[in-house]
Amino acid sequence: MKLKKKLLFSTILVFLCIFIINKRFAFSAQVFNSIGDGQSKVYVTGDIHGLLEVDRVLNIDFLGEDDYLIILGDFGLLWDGSLKESIALNKLNNKPFTTLFIDGNHENFNMLNSLPVESWNGGKVHRIRNKVLHLMRGEVFTINNKRYFTFGGGKSIDKERRIENISWWKEEIPSTEEMDNGIKNLEKCDYNVDYVLTHTTDVDNLYTIGDKLDFTPKEDELNLFLSKIKNKLTYNKWYFGHFHLDWQINQKDRAILEDIVQIGT
């Protein structure tokens, strides 16, 4: 009789364990799904200039696993290939969110363009780390069912004080192929996107900023290209860096440096 009771007790114990384990797995799957189905948060910020201002991004504590932080050029963490840069990139990669960036004028384009090209969310990227991606020029990406047109690059006004292939790269100004790629991808979506992310801006904004900051602007081929596409483009918001200025120019266009802005605002 005693043996029968022991057997019964053991059987109940085994069934109880199986029940608890099943429940735990079911719970994990549910949490995973609910995170995956949720809308990601997307924030944008301006130039970080590599190690100089990377802490602005490393200090962000309000974005989670499914969220994105986009840097609007002068990312600068591919500059001299130093151990310090590598450590900073690893720290970025260890943040819960994914860091995306467009290129500015202060990037080492030899390093950037030597990376393999991958497809990601409808466009082309260079993957620097698992969760640190360069959004290439003239691409259209889809995040949260919203279209993002990206076009990096810009002219260095201090080019004369820089050394080619050490602190300045001619690829800062996009090639005809990159501009053609942008036009081809915009044609595919009938020039209709939700957000535009660039480093510099179009000619009109350039002159408006020149007035505000009291400098005499001189438009280059990239400003002219951006004006050309702006004339045809339907978009909700356009964010850009480069001018080291936080300023909402008008309802749609916003210059960003240190602000960390939720996309759409």
Question: Cα(248)–Cα(255) distance, rounded to whole angstroms?
Answer: 6
Of 195, 106, 211, which is closest to residue 156 (Cα–Cα)?
A: 106
Q: How far is the CB of 40 from Zn ion (least distance, A)?
A: 27
69 or 72, CB closer to Zn ion? 72
107 touches Zn ion by CB under 5 A: no
8 or 157, CB closer to Zn ion? 157
x-or-dash string of contact with Zn ion, 8-47, rule CB under 5 A: ---------------------------------------x
Which residue stretches of the chain are H helix?
2-37, 55-58, 83-93, 109-113, 176-188, 203-213, 221-232
172 touches Zn ion by CB under 5 A: no
SS3 content of the chain, % helix, strand, coil (to 5): 40, 25, 40
- Strand, coil or helix: what is 53? coil
235 or 243, CB closer to Zn ion? 243
- Applying CB under 5 A, the site for Zn ion has a residue count of 2
74 or 85, CB closer to Zn ion? 74
103 touches Zn ion by CB under 5 A: no
Residues 45-84 that bind Zn ion (CB under 5 A): 47, 74
Q: How far is the CB of 175 from Zn ion (least distance, A)?
A: 21
Q: How far is the CB of 72 from Zn ion (least distance, A)?
A: 9
- Kindly list the residues in this chain that would bind Zn ion in the complex (CB under 5 A): 47, 74
